[in-house]
């Protein structure tokens, strides 16, 4: 009987221990495994732990925590994607720095401006850009808690020589988590160039107008002081006034033509142009002008010269301007050549002379408005300084390009390239 009681007691104890194990020990191991999975950010084997109410509550709490974590991570990814999308789409360079001026975020354009690869986190701004003026601007923005702005010319890197408008805006008021600044780099090089061109244009037009107007005024005062001039002197005065009147009229016409070409709504009157016939007609029109300066002329074009889709009047204006320059700068007895040929998918029309030529330093600028390689000689010959600029604008409106080659003392060749639209 004693052994039976002992066996029964042992059996009860074992059942009790097994129940305790299954109800209280095993669930906590499951809870430990679940918590470790949540910490490691991996999917847990299960959330439902049903051995006892406490473990079940903990399992459900972990399930809610995991779901909340996933929701927050998804929102974070969406926010990060939005920030990166905005940063990546910006055409201006942008960088975010902390209060120690260490870079926390940058966009692709900023890396391009300064020639940077993916930089390490917390890299100092000055170390990346190596531009003390920008670093001082950021220091001042963070110190004063006020936005700072300055135009700075880049002195090194891929953007050397370009002018940037740098704006540094402090972060403190907008961010409770980080102090520092947002620095924006806006390239204003083209804007400055346009402003400079406008100032030069106004100055040049004023100068060109002042000369003939001064002559008009001088001779008018002469005639008013002494209306009874000898016939020969009166004729001389009137011829001079007529010559400068023609120059003034040519200048006004060229300025108006250039203004029309540069206006945004400019449209070409396109038609099919028989280029060979047009070149023949132009050379016939210029025979007297060539003969007056004792110049020989050559017309040469390839047999496969195609028709062009172009504005015939504008195209004629291009060739007239090129021939006018060639005649002006040629010496008597020289030759002016007009040539047309097919080069790949374009037609090249070139005018060559044997004149004084252009220095290599001046050659890249001859298509600028009012630019003259030899200012004194150009004014003496009556040029307005706008002819080649008009040529360039007309050719670009046709989708083409211009090119110049010259050697001082041997002559100049100006070429225009116009696209050929072949039928498919």
Distance CA(379)–CA(177), nearest Å, equals 67
Other Cβ atoms within 10 Å of 355 Cβ, number: 22
Share of the chain above pLDDT 90, in %: 9
Per CATH, domain 191-263 is 1.10.287.130: yes
**Secondary structure (H, E, C), 225-274:** HCCCCCHHHHHHHHHHHHHHHHHHHHHHHHHHHHHHHHCCCCCCCEEEEC
Structure-model confidence comparison of residues 268 and 308, the more confident one = 308
pLDDT score at 103 = 86
Dihedral sign for Cα atoms in the order 59, 62, 68, 74: negative
The stretch 178-195 carries a mean pLDDT of 83
Best CA proximity match to 87, nearest among 102, 104, 101, 106: 106
Structure-model confidence comparison of residues 190 and 394, the more confident one = 394
- Convert 311-330 to b/e letters by CB count within 10 Å (16 or more is b): bbebbbbbbebbbbbbbbbb
E strand or H helix that includes residue 308: strand 308-311
pLDDT score at 351 = 92
Please name the CATH architecture into which domain 267-424 falls.
2-Layer Sandwich (3.30)
Confidence of residue 38 (pLDDT cuts 50, 70, 90): low
Are the beta carbons of 34 and 44 closer than 8 angstroms?
yes
Does residue 418 sit in helix, strand or coil?
strand
Q: Is the pLDDT of residue 12 over 50?
A: yes
List pLDDT tens digits, range 41-94. Answer: 666 655 555 555 655 565 566 556 666 666 666 665 555 555 565 566 667 888
Domain boundaries of the chain, sorted by first residue: 2-81, 90-187, 191-263, 267-424
The stretch 189-197 carries a mean pLDDT of 78
For residue 159, give every residue at least 6 positions away whose Cβ sits within 8 Å of its Cβ, in sequence order, or none.
113, 114, 187
Structure tokens, 269: 């009157």
The stretch 18-27 carries a mean pLDDT of 52
List pLDDT tens digits, range 395-420. Answer: 998 899 999 998 888 889 999 999 98
Confirm whether pTM is higher than 0.85: no
Share of the chain above pLDDT 70, in %: 72
Distance CA(234)–CA(352), nearest Å, equals 41
Dihedral sign for Cα atoms in the order 307, 310, 311, 315: negative
Q: Is the pLDDT of residue 15 over 70?
A: no
For residue 140, give every residue at least 6 positions away whose Cβ sits within 8 Å of its Cβ, in sequence order, or none.
148, 168
Q: What is the dihedral of CA 197, 201, 204, 209, to 10 degrees?
A: 180
Structure tokens, 302: 């390839």
Rg, the chain, Cα only: 41
Tell me if domain 90-187 and domain 191-263 are identical in fold.
Answer: no
List alpha helices for 308-374, DSSP H.
312-328
pLDDT score at 384 = 63
Distance CA(331)–CA(357), nearest Å, equals 11
pLDDT score at 350 = 92
Best CA proximity match to 152, nearest among 180, 184, 119: 184
What pairing do the DSSP bridges indicate for beta strands 335-343 and 296-301? Answer: parallel
Dihedral sign for Cα atoms in the order 142, 144, 145, 147: negative
Dihedral sign for Cα atoms in the order 109, 111, 112, 117: negative
Confidence of residue 100 (pLDDT cuts 50, 70, 90): confident
Are the beta carbons of 420 and 346 closer than 8 angstroms?
yes
CATH number for the domain running over 90-187: 3.30.450.20
Distance CA(256)–CA(250), nearest Å, equals 10
pLDDT score at 72 = 62
What pairing do the DSSP bridges indicate for beta strands 163-170 and 148-153? Answer: antiparallel
Structure tokens, 369: 């408005």
Does residue 346 sit in helix, strand or coil?
strand
Structure-model confidence comparison of residues 214 and 118, the more confident one = 214
Structure-model confidence comparison of residues 384 and 357, the more confident one = 357
Give the largest Cα separation in the chain, rounded: 166
List pLDDT tens digits, range 126-165. Answer: 888 888 888 899 999 988 888 999 888 877 767 777 888 9
The length of the chain in residues reads 424
Q: Is the pLDDT of residue 424 over 50?
A: no
List pLDDT tens digits, range 334-381. Answer: 999 999 998 888 999 999 998 888 888 788 888 877 766 555 444 555
Q: Is the pLDDT of residue 21 over 50?
A: no
């Amino acid at each position: 009987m004693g052994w039976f009681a002992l066996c029964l007691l042992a059996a009860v104890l074992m059942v009790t221990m097994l129940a305790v194990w299954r109800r209280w020990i095993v669930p906590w191991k499951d809870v430990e495994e679940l918590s470790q999975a949540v910490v490691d950010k991996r999917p847990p084997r299960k959330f439902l732990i049903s051995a006892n109410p406490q473990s079940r509550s903990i399992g459900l709490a972990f399930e809610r925590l995991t779901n909340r974590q996933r929701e927050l991570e998804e929102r974070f990814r969406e926010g990060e994607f939005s920030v990166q999308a905005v940063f990546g789409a910006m055409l201006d360079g942008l960088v975010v720095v902390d209060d120690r001026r260490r870079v926390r975020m940058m966009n692709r354009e900023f890396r391009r401006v300064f020639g940077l690869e993916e930089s390490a986190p917390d890299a100092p701004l000055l170390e990346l850009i190596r531009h003390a003026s920008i670093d001082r601007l950021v220091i001042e923005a963070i110190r004063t808690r006020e936005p700072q702005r300055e135009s700075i010319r880049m002195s090194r890197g891929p953007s050397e020589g370009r002018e940037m408008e740098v704006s540094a805006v402090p972060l403190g008021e907008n961010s409770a988590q980080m102090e520092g600044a947002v620095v924006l780099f806006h390239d204003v090089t083209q804007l400055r160039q346009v402003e400079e061109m406008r100032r030069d244009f106004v100055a040049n037009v004023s100068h060109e107008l002042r000369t003939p107007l001064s002559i008009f005024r001088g001779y008018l005062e002469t005639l008013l002081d002494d209306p009874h001039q000898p016939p020969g002197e009166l004729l001389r005065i009137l011829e001079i006034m007529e010559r400068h009147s023609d120059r003034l009229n040519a200048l006004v016409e060229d300025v108006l033509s250039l203004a029309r070409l540069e206006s945004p709504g400019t449209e070409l009157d396109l038609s099919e142009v028989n280029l060979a016939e047009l070149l023949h007609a132009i050379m016939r029109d210029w025979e007297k002008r060539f003969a007056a300066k004792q110049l020989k002329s050559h017309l040469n074009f390839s047999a496969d010269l195609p028709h062009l889709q172009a504005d015939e009047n504008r195209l004629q204006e291009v060739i007239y301007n090129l021939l006018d320059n060639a005649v002006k700068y040629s010496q008597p007895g020289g030759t002016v050549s007009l040539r047309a040929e097919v080069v790949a998918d374009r037609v090249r029309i070139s005018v060559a002379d044997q004149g004084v030529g252009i220095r290599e330093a001046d050659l890249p600028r001859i298509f600028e408005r009012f630019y003259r390689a030899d200012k004194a000689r150009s004014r003496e010959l009556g040029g307005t300084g706008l002819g080649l600029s008009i040529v360039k604008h007309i050719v670009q409106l046709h989708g083409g390009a211009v090119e110049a080659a010259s050697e001082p003392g041997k002559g100049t060749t100006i070429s225009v390239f116009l696209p050929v639209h072949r039928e498919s």
